[in-house]
Amino acid sequence: MSLPFCNVALPVPLRTTFTYAVPESLREIVQPGTRVIVPFRKKAMVGVVVELTDRAPEGTKIREITKALDRVPALTPKLIELGHWIANYYLAPIGEVFRAMLPPVIEMRTQRLIVLTEAGRDAAASLSGGELTHGLSRNEVEFLAKLAAKKEPLPFGSAAKLGLDANALDRLRRLGLIEIRETMLGRKAKTQRVIAAKSSAQISGSGDLDEKSLRVRSMLAERGPLPMPLLLKLASVSRALVERMLRDGMLESWEERVDPAEDPFDVGYEAPAHELNAEQESAFGAIRARFELGEFGVLLLHGVTGSGKTEVYMRSVQETLARGKTAIVLVPEIALTLWVGRQCRAWFGARFEGVAVLHSALSDIERAREWWRVRHGEARVVVGTRSAVFAPLDNLGLIIVDEEQESSFKQEETPRYHGRDVAIVRAKMENAGALLGSATPSLETYHHARNGKYELLTLASRVANRSMASVEIVDLREDFQRTHQTSPISSALHAGIQACLTNGTQALVLINRRGYSWSVLCRSCGASVQCVNCSISMTYHKHRNRLECHYCGSLQAVPKECPKCQSKYVYFFGEGSEHLEERLRKEFPGARIARLDRDTARTKQQYQETLGAFAAGALDILVGTQMLAKGHDFQRVTLVGVISADSSLHLPDFRAAERTFQLLTQVAGRAGRGELPGRVLIQTYYPEHYAIQDAVRQDYSAFFEREMHFRRMMQYPPFTSLANVIVRDTSLEKAIVWSRQLSEYFAPHDGKGARILGPATAPLARLKKEHRFQFLLKSPRRSLLTRILSGAMAYCDARSIPQTAVLVDMDPLSLL
């Protein structure tokens, strides 16, 4: 297939592709899915070919593709189909959809190899007598013989040295005697420094060692030689100390090769492989039965926290691989890719040529490398966050979405897709299974499971007869009246943490905001410090000594006086995670404390170090934002404290109750997962709220019934579909004019099977310098919404309202 033109999706916010000519020299290479460099306006841009065509639009000057970036097309035909679906369903600019699906643009060093096929091997054997058959030349026969003798693939470039030109190679390929494969060049071997204790005979008189050196010694005695960074973390000592001990001859060190396929995080790890209990067995049986059918289907694994869902996932992936297919496991947080990735590597790494992990805390190079490993078929299991749903696997058999209710699966920038929903659509397109798992399914998903659209599998109890954690409410009003303390840590929580320290168990403390304090107020005039670009108050970060906007990233100096009235009484208010950490250090001076939030964990290594240290027992208290709330399986955590259950309850959002219930239930699930029983303390000013009450009882079905009643009355999802439309511009006037125009288009549609509310000022009235107005569309028929909205896009084009000024959020999770 070599057609003269192609349509290219470019990363520009326009709902169209662009036609380019394919120069003769690139016709063999450029295919649907190939990334190309093309001239666009005055720039060169990287885009992806979505189709080849023999026609170009008339009347425009067609320019040529400059270069092809891939020899194997980056995207498979199925992924191109999926991209089109996303662009249509979410009304998203097609180029931005494909940009989200592609790997970072990094030149990968690849190598083309010539591989002898089965048929080629036979031919080489039968031709060895020297007679010329098959219409092959002597040269070609000799080449096949050499290839057969060599026993390993030959680099593409060496063919010429063996006297074979490109034409001859192509002939052999077409005859099916050889294959040309592409692999990535081997990575350079990495090494790491490993530290060990000198044998005890050489060290006497350790009596005069200080406490820290003793910790290092006993850590090494206990765990054997350790890589330097891990040792520093586990013993919580400085590098300087270890260097000193090395110089003093107490320790020794050497460089050790790190097996590129082996993550240092995996060293010494063995995946649990439990015999499934009866509930797990029956859930897995149903999944297997689905495989027997060999067709698309969605299953919901509803299992309470600690019921062993992961074990069921692992068996399902194993079953998928055994059938020669591939699998994706989506998790809601980067932190969780560590555990699940490690578990998958332990289960499948060796036997099935690999597991790839994809998430946004990888460097571009790492991400591109993992991505291409998948594309070249070198990894058959992919673990990752949201965008891993686009992993370029062939022959997909299963997509697992763990904690399917999590809002992190929804991308809150263009293209605004929902990873879980895209997973289901992709599974359908590829005739694969979709397995959704959760202790607290979203209302939508559970609704589908109850009305039979999804198959419902239930794990009603924790493994090994462990009991659920006991959940207690701390009424903050009462606590304050009694103690008159203003600490964010109530006396009950303080006592609970103290008990953990005394018993040598661990505590998790959760707070939902990062930073030191999330509001800066003037006591004198009441003004609060707002972001210059957004209608949002600035967050104070003490360590960095500045104010930050968590929406647009803008920075301000910490004010010494009120910017409005110049009073000196600037007041920081509303505790964030940084504040809480400081507080805990003050209240528990001897404890080993760490914090995990987006400020302390930006890279994969930072996640690994903190979580690894906590899991290994090198920390007593871990403070964090909700990234700690779900999924983690820490065996020695006996106490979980929630600083404020209310903060998520008061958002102007119909899902506020659902979110609060889910978060608290998940949090409660982190305690008492091992042999030791768990206890959860939830601090609140609003203990009567049903979301909190049902979470205390960990009663999903009570919450579900109550919330469904409310949703039905209010005509909210799952009883209706929603779309949120934002009209935005830096000029207030333009934003108003365009909103008015759009409302003229919407008016005749209102009341005819759809309700259209607005325009109103958006709850976030200003964001990143833009003024925002909002329409809310509701209809029991989603297809009607899509029709109205595509009409709206055409209307905007006709009125010259820029496509970038109108944001469509289909199935919005948040109405801000």
Burial of 201 (0-12, 13-18, 19+ CB in 10 A): exposed
In the complex, what is the shortest distance from the CB of residue 277 to ligand ADP, in angstroms, rounded to a whole number?
4
Comparing CA positions, the residue from 687, 696, 686 lying closest to residue 640 is 696
For the record, the structure tokens of 53 come out as 């065509």
HSE-up of residue 42 (Cα within 13 Å, Cβ side): 0
Q: Is residue 234 a contact partner of residue 610, using CB atoms and an 8 Å limit?
A: no
The residues, any chain, with a CB within 8 Å of residue 684's CB and separated by 6 or more, are 473, 474, 475, 476, 644, 645, 646, 692
CB of 409 to ligand ADP, least distance (A): 17
Among 134, 564, 568, 740, binds Zn ion (CB under 5 A): 564
| Helix (H), strand (E) at residue 121 | helix 118-126
**Helix (H) or strand (E) run with residue 366 in it:** helix 364-375
521 forms part of the interface with Zn ion (CB under 5 A): no
Q: What share of the chain is helix, strand, coil (3-state, %, to 5)?
A: 40, 25, 40
* CA–CA gap between residue 104 and residue 100 (Å, rounded): 9
Q: Given the rule CB under 5 A, which of 311-319, 550-558, 574-582, 672-680 is the region that contacts Zn ion?
A: 550-558
Span near ligand ADP by CB under 6 A; candidates 298-306, 588-596, 640-648, 745-753? 298-306
From the list ligand ADP, Zn ion, none, pick the one residue 564 interacts with, judged by a Cβ distance below 5 to 8 Å according to partner type.
Zn ion
Nearest distance from C-beta of residue 623 to ligand ADP, angstroms: 22
- β strands within 396-533, DSSP E: 396-402, 433-438, 455-459, 470-475, 506-510, 517-522
Question: Which residues, 462 to 481, sit near ligand ADP by CB under 6 A?
Answer: 463-464
Task: Find which of ligand ADP, Zn ion, none residue 303 binds, CB within 5 to 8 Å per kind.
Answer: ligand ADP
Q: Beta partners for 52?
A: 6
Which residues have C-beta within 8 Å of that of residue 737, sequence separation ≥ 6?
Answer: none
Residue 488 sits in the site that holds ligand ADP (CB under 6 A): no
Q: Between residues 274 and 564, which has the closer beta carbon with respect to Zn ion?
A: 564
DSSP state, residue 84: H
Nearer to Zn ion, 470 or 530 (CB): 530
- Determine which residue in the list 32, 153, 308, 687 makes contact with ligand ADP, applying CB under 6 A: 308
Site size for ligand ADP, by CB under 6 A? 19
> Which pair of structure tokens corresponds to residue 368?
């591109």
Helix 77-89 vs helix 419-429: crossing angle, to nearest 10: 130
Q: Which stretch binds Zn ion (CB under 5 A): 194-202, 238-246, 453-461, 517-525?
A: 517-525
Query: Residues 6 or more apart from 225 whose CB is under 8 A from it?
Result: 194, 195, 196
Q: How far is the CB of 678 from ligand ADP (least distance, A)?
A: 12
Q: How far is the CB of 801 from Zn ion (least distance, A)?
A: 25
Is the separation of the CB atoms in 636 and 505 below 8 Å? yes
Please identify, using beta-carbon distances, which residue of 192 and 556 lies nearer to Zn ion: 556
Work out the widest C-alpha separation in the chain, in whole angstroms: 101
Residues sharing a CB contact under 8 Å with residue 498, sequence separation 6 or more, in sequence order = 588
Among 280, 326, 408, 537, binds ligand ADP (CB under 6 A): 280
Task: Say whether residue 277 binds ligand ADP (CB under 6 A).
Answer: yes
Q: From its phi and psi, is residue 538 left (phi > 0), alpha (psi between -120 and 50) or beta?
A: beta
CB 144 within 8 A of CB 168: no
- Inter-CA distances, 312 with 296, 301, 327, 441, Å: 19, 9, 14, 17
Q: Judged by CB under 6 A, which stretch of 221-229, 301-309, 488-496, 745-753 contacts ligand ADP?
A: 301-309
CB 383 within 8 A of CB 631: no
Rule CB under 6 A: choose which of 303, 419, 496, 812 binds ligand ADP. 303
Quick check: 534 binds Zn ion (CB under 5 A)? yes
Q: Say which entry of Zn ion, ligand ADP, none residue 308 contacts (CB below 5 to 8 A, set by partner kind).
A: ligand ADP
- Residue with smaller CB distance to ligand ADP, 309 or 659: 309
Residues 664-683 that bind ligand ADP (CB under 6 A): 669, 673
Among 96, 263, 311, 319, binds ligand ADP (CB under 6 A): 311
- Shortest distance (Å) from residue 649 CB to ligand ADP: 24
Which partner from the list ligand ADP, Zn ion, none does 274 bind, CB cut-off 5 to 8 Å by kind?
ligand ADP
Q: Per CB under 5 A, does 524 bind Zn ion?
A: yes
Out of 213, 305, 644, 648, the only residue in the binding site for ligand ADP (CB under 6 A) is 305
Shortest separation between residue 513's beta carbon and Zn ion, angstroms: 15
User: In the bound complex, what is the minimum distance in angstroms from residue 331's beta carbon to ligand ADP?
Assistant: 11
Nearer to ligand ADP, 447 or 673 (CB): 673
Residue 606-635 contact track with ligand ADP, rule CB under 6 A, x = bound: ---------------------------x--
Q: Which of 44, 132, 221, 565 lies at the binding interface for Zn ion (CB under 5 A)?
A: 565
Q: How many residues bind Zn ion (CB under 5 A)?
A: 15
Instruction: Tell me if 549 contacts Zn ion by CB under 5 A.
Output: yes
Closer residue to Zn ion in complex, CB, 110/533: 533
Q: Using the minimum distance from each CB to ligand ADP, give the nearer residue, 159 or 468.
A: 468
Beta-carbon contacts of residue 52 (< 8 Å; ≥ 6 apart): 1, 3, 5, 6, 22, 30, 31, 32
- Closest approach of Cβ 667 to ligand ADP, in Å? 12
In the complex, minimum distance from the CB of residue 657 to ligand ADP, in angstroms, rounded to a whole number: 23
Check residue 279 for interaction with ligand ADP (CB under 6 A). Answer: no
Q: Among ligand ADP, Zn ion, none, what does residue 531 contact (CB within 5–8 Å per kind)?
A: Zn ion
Integer Cα distance of 73 and 453 in angstroms: 36
Question: How many residues are listed for the chain in this entry?
Answer: 816
Is residue 564 involved in binding ligand ADP (CB under 6 A)?
Answer: no
Stretch that binds ligand ADP, among 126-134, 207-215, 299-307, 657-665 (CB under 6 A): 299-307
555 binds Zn ion (CB under 5 A): no
Should residue 26 be labelled a site residue for Zn ion when binding is judged by CB under 5 A? no
Q: Is 79 exposed, middle or buried (0-12, 13-18, 19+ CB in 10 A)?
A: buried
Sequence-distant (6+) residues with CB within 8 A of 297 are 290, 433, 434, 455
Residues that bind Zn ion in the complex, under the rule CB under 5 A: 522, 524-525, 527, 531, 533-534, 549, 551-552, 554, 562, 564-565, 567
Site for ligand ADP, rule CB under 6 A: 272, 274-277, 280, 303, 305-311, 463-464, 633, 669, 673
